[in-house]
């Protein structure tokens, strides 16, 4: 059972544009929502994370928006750069950030120069 659904599967954005990736979850027990960035040949790396007591978290060009009632969260990448081209995964876990992660299907982002 896929508990975290991610869209779109792929995304092409022009340099300087905004990239938006959406995720929806089913399990209301989830209380930690990280986003991971993965480059080819590398493991996923934590980009930014949020807990459901806040609706938005911003770190540099990356922002997570969280809607607890809709059970949805999204990643916004402002001023997208070619170096942001990677696969992005949303995830969710229960309890702590060190718990088992349930991942979305992934979004392959391409930022054209």
Q: Which of 109, 19, 94 is nearest to 61 (CA)?
A: 19
33 binds another protein, rule: CB under 8 A: no
Residue closer to another protein (CB basis): 80 or 89? 89
Which helix H or strand E contains 89, and what residues bound it? Answer: strand 86-92
Q: Is residue 113 near another protein by the rule CB under 8 A?
A: no
- Per-residue binder mask for another protein (CB under 8 A), 35-74, x = binder: -x----xxxxxx--x-------------------------
Q: What residues line the site for another protein (CB under 8 A)?
A: 36, 41-46, 49, 89, 96-106
């Amino acid at each position: 059972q896929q508990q975290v659904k991610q869209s779109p599967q792929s995304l092409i954005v022009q340099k300087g544009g905004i990239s938006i990736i959406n995720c929806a979850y089913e399990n209301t027990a989830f209380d930690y929502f990280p986003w991971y960035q993965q480059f080819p040949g590398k493991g996923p790396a934590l980009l930014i994370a949020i807990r459901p007591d806040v609706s938005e978290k911003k770190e540099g060009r990356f922002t997570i928006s969280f809607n607890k009632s809709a059970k949805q969260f999204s990643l916004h990448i402002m001023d997208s750069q070619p170096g942001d081209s990677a696969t992005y995964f949303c995830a969710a876990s229960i309890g702590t950030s060190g718990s088992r992660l349930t991942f979305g299907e992934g979004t392959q982002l391409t930022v054209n120069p």
